[in-house]
Structure 1
Amino acid sequence: MKILEFLKNKKGAMGIGTLIVFIAMVLVAAVAASVLINTSGFLQQKASATGKQSTEQVASGIQVLQVMGMHNTSNINKTVIYISPNAGSAPIDLSQAVVMVSDGSTKLVAKYNISNANTTDTQIKDGGSVFDSGVWGNISSTEFGIIVVQDADGSCTAKTPVINKGDIVAIALNTTGLKMGPRSDITGTIQPEFGAPGVISFTTPATYINGSRVIQLQ
């Protein structure tokens, strides 16, 4: 009888051990599943954010429509770059854009001065010449002005110079410090906050005619 009682007690001890191991395995599996679920959710959010940013980077951007300049028979001191958003582009905040232009030896880097409201002209869209705009007297060689040519929804203002679908603005640059005489190779970009930059690349005319001060460069 004592032997049978001993064996019964032994079987009970083995059953409790197995139960403990089984519960431990369930707990480990639950923890592992929780970690995997959290990781997959985090990766999904990162992938979604990365996809959105990649789409904005690829689809958005600035296109250069035309580049005009005004010379003084020896150098182009005023340069106007007509730009518009790319097709399908998200709205672009020009206050975060950087304009870089080089003549091969000197590089001009200009940013928008949001604290100076006189660097934006919203009246030119009603007619007039961009070279007669009042922004020219308010921009230095390290700043660019904005002359609104077409803005149906009024999104481009001095405090919020944002361009979107259908908008056309002219970037006014004071290029007095650059060597833009006859036969000069000029390169540069207009780099927005995100998206593709607008490319500037042209060669100035072989000679400057006194009776034709405004010339098309690109």
Structure 2
Amino acid sequence: MTIRFVESSKLPTPWGMFVMHGFSDDSLDKEHVVLTMGEVSDGEPVLARVHSECLTGDALFSMRCDCGPQLQAAMHKISIVGRGAIFYLRQEGRGIGLLNKIKAYHLQDCGADTVEANEQLGFGADMRDYSILKPMLDHLNIHALKLMTNNPRKVTALEDMGIKIAERIPHQTGRNPHNAKYLETKKGKLGHLFEDDSESK
């Protein structure tokens, strides 16, 4: 694995001015970005979201998942406190890629849940690799996170890499009639922690 820093630039957004840091994963020919706001290298735990790319949810406003609302909510929460980081990882479809994700969506249209669809295609339920985060965190001199997530496996994966999780902050938003089954599968099969049944991930 070779993750190298490329460049940083300003990124004005509806939630304020972020700095966008570009990283290249030369071994997999993928590009990742980190958005930061405020001073994140002062040693204090950083409010953060580790967000896997979801073209359908983030850019095309799909209601099949809660990814787009989660990304926007994370940017909003960071803007309120004026300090934080969003790690945007190019791991579409829990790591199976965009076209395989469309195949999985077709299987879901036929009645499979998200886990069953992945497995019918020959993939694991979640193929994401969070080890790519370590070089990015090291470059930004971030050593501890206040992580916005409902996924305990994500917390464990980061802690296993030696990243301190000072706090897990529930991050529930985006429930709608189209993603109710998706969210129940997250809870029942992937162990996501939902504070109640009104909102999710």
- Fold equivalence (TM over 0.5): no
TM-score norm. by structure 1 comes to 0.25
Pick 1 or 2: higher relative contact order, CA cutoff 8 A, min separation 6. 1
TM-score norm. by structure 2 comes to 0.27
Greater Rg by CA: 1
